Amino acid sequence: MKRKSITLGRIRFITVVGVIAAVTLLLVPTTGVIAVPTGDDIASKSQQAAEVSREIDALDKELGVAAEAYDRVKVELDEITDEVNETRQRLSDIKQSLRDRRDILNERAAAMYKNGKTSMLEVLLRTKDFVDFLERADYVSRVAQSDAKLITRIKSNRDSVSQLERDLAEQQRQKEGLVQQSIAKKQQVEGALAQREVLLTSLNQDIQRMLAEQTAQQRAVDTVLNDEALDQLADAPEGGLAKTAMKYLGVDYHWAGAGPGKCPTGVHRICFDCSGLTQYVYKLHGISIPHNAALQFNRGIKITLQQARSGDLVFFGTPPHHVGMYLGNDMFLHAPSTGDVVKVSRLSSRSDTSGFCRFKR
C-alpha cells in the first residue's frame, strides 16, 4: 500500500494528536521539554533525538490506554442506548394494551347504557332456576373483578417500566457526558500539541535526517518481518484467521478505527486501531468480540504461550490496553499507533505481554 512519505518527527506528532480522543490525559508542559540542538556535535544531536523518541514513545503508550478507554465508553453507551430503545418499545406496548382494555370496557359500558342498566333483578328474571341465577350473577361479578385486576396490573407494569426508562435515560445522559468530555479534552490537548509541533519542526536538518534514517531502517525491518510471516502462513489453509488478518498489512492506524468506512474522522477509507483490527477480522469469521482490548481479554478463553496458535489474540499492558493477533514463531500482527500501519512485530520485542486468549464461534 502506497503511503505518504513523512518524517518520524511528524509521525510522532500525529501520534500524539490523533489518538487523544480518549477519556483522560494529563497535559505535558509545552516549554522546556525539547531543547533545540546547538552546534555541530552529532553525538549531542543523536542523544537529543533518542530522548525525543523515548518521550514520545511514552506518550504513545499513555494515549493508547486513553484510546482504549474511549472505545470502552462508546461500547457502554451503545449498550445502554439499546436498552433504552428496548424499554421504550416495551412501554409503548404496555400503554397500547391499557388503551385496548379501556376500549373494551368503554364498549361494554356503552352497550349497557343503550340496553338499559343490567341489574341483579334482570339477571334473576332471565334465569331458569336459582342455580342458574347464582352462576350468572357470579359470572357478571367475576368479569368486573377480572377487568379491574387486569387494568391495575397493566398500570403497575407501565409505572415500573417508566421508572426503568428514566433510570436508563439518566445513565445514557451520563455516558454521553463522558464522550463529550473526551472530545473537549481532545480539543484542549490539540491546542497545546500545536505549540509542540512548532518546536519539533524547529529541529535542525541533521536530526531530521537521522530520524528519517531510523524510520527507513524500521520500515526495512517491518518489511522483512511481514515477508517472513507471509512465508510462514503460505501453506496454511485458506480462510484461517491469521491469513485473513494478513490481508490488511499496511492499512493505516487511526484511533477508534474499525475497518472500511469506519474511520472516526473520515481521513482514511479504511483504518484500524488495535482492538478494531482484531474485532473486524474475527467478525469476518462469525465471531463477535467487543471493540476494546480489556473487554476482549476478559471475555476470551485464557491460554498460555505454549498453547497459543495462529489466530489467537495476544495482549499487552496491565490492565491490557493493546492487542494483536498471534502468528506463531515469535511473531504477531497488530495496529501499533498513529503514524504507523498494520504490521508484524516480534513478540520478544515486548516486555509487557499480559496474556493470550482464544475465542470460539
CATH class of 224-361: alpha beta
112 neighbors 169 (Cβ within 8 angstroms): no
Rounded to two decimals, what is the model's pTM? 0.55
pLDDT at 293: 97
Which helix (H) or strand (E) segment holds residue 128: the answer is: none
**Digitized pLDDT (tens) for each residue of the chain, 361 residues in all:** 433 333 334 334 333 333 333 333 333 333 333 333 333 435 676 666 667 666 666 666 666 666 777 778 778 878 878 887 887 787 787 777 767 766 776 666 566 556 555 554 555 555 555 555 555 555 556 556 666 676 677 677 777 777 877 877 787 788 777 777 766 665 555 544 444 554 455 545 666 676 677 777 888 888 889 999 988 888 777 679 999 999 999 999 999 999 999 999 999 999 999 999 999 999 999 999 999 999 999 999 999 999 999 999 999 999 999 999 999 999 999 999 988 999 999 999 999 999 999 998 7
- Taking alpha carbons only, the member of 72, 97, 203 closest to residue 151 is 97
Phi, psi of 311 (to 5 degrees): 105, -20
In the chain, what are the domain boundaries?
224-361
Residue 35 DSSP code: P
Residue 160: how many CB atoms within 10 A of its CB? 12
Contacts of 245 (CB under 8 A, 6+ apart): 277, 278, 281, 311, 325, 333
Q: Are residues 212 and 195 in contact, defined by beta-carbon separation less than 8 angstroms?
A: no
Spell out a b/e string for 293-312, using b for 16 or more CB atoms within 10 Å of the CB, else e: bbbbbeebeebeeeebebbb
